[in-house]
Amino acid sequence: MTAAPRGPRLVAVPGLGLSAAVPQHTLDRLPRPSAVVELPCFGRPAPRGTALDPGSLARLLLARLDERGLARDGDAAVLLGHSASCQIVVAAAAVAPQRVAGLVLVGPTTDPRARGWPALAARWLRTAAHERPGQVPQLVRDYAHTGPGSMLRGMAAARRHRIDRALGAVRCPVLVVRGRHDRIAPRDWTEALAAVAPRGRAQTLPAGGHMVPITHPAALASAVGAFLGSPSVSI
């Protein structure tokens, strides 16, 4: 029996409105120990009054890591975010650098050029043309569970956050990865984010749109696995 690779645990936070099942498609293809943490709007409904800004959700994420024993001092984790949850994991790494060994940002939001609702909706529509119809049942179930009101409030908070500025305070290795046809996270945006991070690099998968954790989990797992196996992350 082959032993699992040593190194930090991989902890994923689902994207906005998505359940733990979505990142699990990718985690199941990686031999490293992993877990998914759901948060309000990111796997769970968000009651009115819940603070949904990335900073508040980052503090909640760190508390959940403590509760589950996933990233204590001296046992840092690699955090994986998708879409708007990228902003949460970056904020967590900025405020608790000793607890984060690396970041994987999949299709990160929000490009400042598309912060307004019309521009953001246009990018969603341009990306949707390249998504696979087979993912629709999963999305319908997850979005219904989270609730449209929660999702709108979550997106309103996310689009005001400047992840590009927050990344400047991060010191761990960062992988920014996107699907080839992702117009929500275009290539120049992801490359600019990777350049902001002191130890960042960008990668575009050969296919896929914004929902690559569902539609192309094998390709995403390959990119994540290579990142986790790099000397700077394998601590």
Give the Cα separation of 53 and 43 in Å (integer).
15
pTM of the model: 0.92
Q: Where are the alpha helices (DSSP H) in 96-216?
A: 117-128, 136-146, 148-159, 163-166, 187-196, 212-215
Give the type of residue at 145.
H
Residues 6+ apart with CB under 8 A from 169: 94
Give the Cα separation of 54 and 70 in Å (integer).
20
Which helix H or strand E contains 80, and what residues bound it? strand 77-82
- pLDDT given for residue 235 in this prediction: 46
Q: Which domains does the chain have, with CATH numbers?
A: 9-228 (3.40.50.1820)
Bridge-based pairing state of the strands 34-36 and 9-13: parallel
pLDDT digits (tens, 9 = 90+) for 182-231: 999 999 999 999 999 989 999 999 999 999 999 999 999 999 999 998 77
- pLDDT given for residue 3 in this prediction: 47
pLDDT digits (tens, 9 = 90+) for 110-151: 888 887 778 878 888 888 878 888 888 999 999 999 999 999
Residues in the chain: 235
